[in-house]
Amino acid sequence: MTGKPQRSVTGTTRRLTPDGAGIETAARLLAEGGLVALPTETVYGLAADARQDHAVARIFEAKGRPRFNPLIIHVADLAGVGRYARLTPEAERLARAFWPGPLTLVLPLLPEAGLSPLVTAGNDSVAVRVPAHPVAQALLRRFGGPLAAPSANPSGRVSPTRATHVLDGLDGRIEAVIDGGEAAVGVESTIVGLLEAPLLLRPGGLALEDLEAALGRAIPAPAADPARPVAPGQLSSHYAPRAEMRLATRPAAGEAWLGFGPQDAGATLNLSPAGDLTEAAANLFHYMREIDTGPGTVIAVSPIPESGLGRAINDRLRRAAAPRPVTDPFGRSA
């Protein structure tokens, strides 16, 4: 871990442009121990230098995130991964097939990695991703080191797919956000554990079918322990709007209705009128925010096919509909 100066936010969060000047400013802030939200192809991430204890601790503070919930580190390329984790043959096969892209691999942590132990939450493994977004790539190459970057939102709440979403939840709690437009994929990366046999730890923006085809074998999903997650996105309640959410074929009287497909033409909002799962994934978090009118209201969500990106969408919806903590991430009554 490096002993860089400690920072704290004063005033409002800066909104940076996704050009050379913005990247330069963001890299400087990160080197000083600051927090910068950056666009990726999945959702916006909240980045800090993964080697600085204080900077990583500030991620948990800004988000109200439990310390036992590990983080993903982002690096610019496959060569960078090898500085922090051991690449197994199956990991290298998936990496060459799908990186850069919406895939995170949980790999054995190298003893000499030099990452803050807060990143791994005490596990002897580390979650690694090589993002495809050009702004994320530019920042990683300019910064020259690993960035810990969970989603840039209060813990447990709806993930951000636009810079405005980041500011809605974290304005004044972080130094800056780089405005890179809308996230194209719209749900977080797929996470595959490769410590022993491959395991699907979180469905996400890369379809399970494509991963299994690349490996030539099934990738089962183990039963997760929400009290001891080995990867992000495994808590029982997550991705939640302020309103109550339930999964239903049709809404009850007075409920908002988040539909899917041509049969739901009367929905308040429709994730994809054509029934396209890629479109639905891209719209999911933005529409969850748009339809959310706050506590005391209910959002009914139509069924989504449990295949392809539908697995990731359903995973987010089930966790959003799960019973929630009594207080929000900042200690206020939920």
Q: Is 319 annotated as a binding residue?
A: no
**Amino acid at position 249, single letter:** T
Distance CA 241, CA 232 (A): 18
If you search the block for the tokens 């748009």, which residue do you land on? 290
Q: Is 302 annotated as a binding residue?
A: no
The kind and range of the H/E element at 72 are: strand 72-74
Q: Is 129 annotated as a binding residue?
A: yes
Q: Is 149 annotated as a binding residue?
A: yes
- Edge-first strand order for the sheet with 125-129 is 14-16, 176-178, 36-38, 45-49, 147-148, 72-74, 125-129, 103-108, 190-193, 199-202
How far does Cα 102 stand from its chain's mean position?
A: 10
My answer on whether omega of the bond before 39 falls inside 30° of 0, hence cis, is no
**Amino acid at position 126, single letter:** V
Q: Is 239 annotated as a binding residue?
A: yes
Q: CA dist 42 to 103, 152, 205, 268, Å?
A: 10, 12, 7, 25
Phi, psi of 5 (to 5 degrees): -60, 150
Distance CA 63, CA 79 (A): 30
Residue among 104, 113, 127 at smallest CA distance from 83: 113
If you search the block for the tokens 């780089």, which residue do you land on? 178
Residue among 26, 102, 71 at smallest CA distance from 232: 71
Q: Is 333 annotated as a binding residue?
A: no
Q: Is 289 annotated as a binding residue?
A: no
Q: Is 189 annotated as a binding residue?
A: yes
Q: Is 228 annotated as a binding residue?
A: no
Binding residues for L-threonine: 42, 74, 129, 149, 189
Binding residues: 42, 65, 69, 74, 129, 149, 151, 159, 189, 202, 239
Binding residues for ATP: 65, 69, 151, 159, 202, 239
